[in-house]
Amino acid sequence: MKALQVPFLKSDYLKLVLVGMLGVVLIVIGSFMSGSGKATIPDDHRILAELREYQNILAKQLEEVVSAVQGAGKVHVSIALERGPETVYVTNTTLSRNSQSESTSQGQTRQTITESETSQVVTGRISGSGDSLIPEKVIAPKISGCVVVAEGASDPRVKTNIYRAVQVLLDIPIYKIEVLPMQGGK
């Protein structure tokens, strides 16, 4: 009876597989230790810090306005953001239209219209740095909800006025707002 020979179990193949695996491991380790991976982490932290600051400033401004509502009393506000700011970049858009007519021997005419649109993001040099994308506008973070806790929220009239104020100030639908009475409130 012959022994079963598997070609990939030969020592030459095993050495080749081990060298390949070592190469993959070195590439993965190198990508973690390279500077490009480190540069994105502080940017992410900076963006998150800016979002938290925006959220806190918005909440404080809303607290000031709502606390000025007659009967509201002491107020605490919490705002939830659905997503962060979105940057729209300048694009160069080209629209091309091609029209072609054919006539058959029976006198029929067929017309074919082809339209294509291509967009390319515009880059430029800003303040001596390399080429970078040119922002057209920045869309503010989208608010997903707001909770207002107020001393006077037990009174239906005060609660209604708070709902209206928050709805107008944040420009969000009323179902995304919750007004609750404060513990130990009036």
Question: What would the pLDDT profile of 56-68 be if each residue is shown by its tens digit?
Answer: 888 999 999 999 9
| pLDDT tens column, 20-63 | 777 777 777 766 665 544 444 566 777 778 888 888 888 999 99
- Helix axis angle for 35-67 and 11-33, nearest 10°, is 40
Structure confidence at residue 37 (pLDDT): 47
Q: Which amino acid is at 111?
A: Q
Boundaries of every domain in the chain: 86-139
Q: How far apart (Å, rounded) are the C-alpha atoms in residues 26 and 14?
A: 18
Beta strands in 45-167 (DSSP E): 75-83, 86-89, 91-103, 109-121, 123-125, 131-133, 135-139, 142-150
Residue type, 59: A
DSSP secondary structure letter of residue 126: -
User: What's the average model confidence in pLDDT over 101-116?
Assistant: 85
Q: How far apart are CA 94 and CA 120, in angstroms?
A: 9
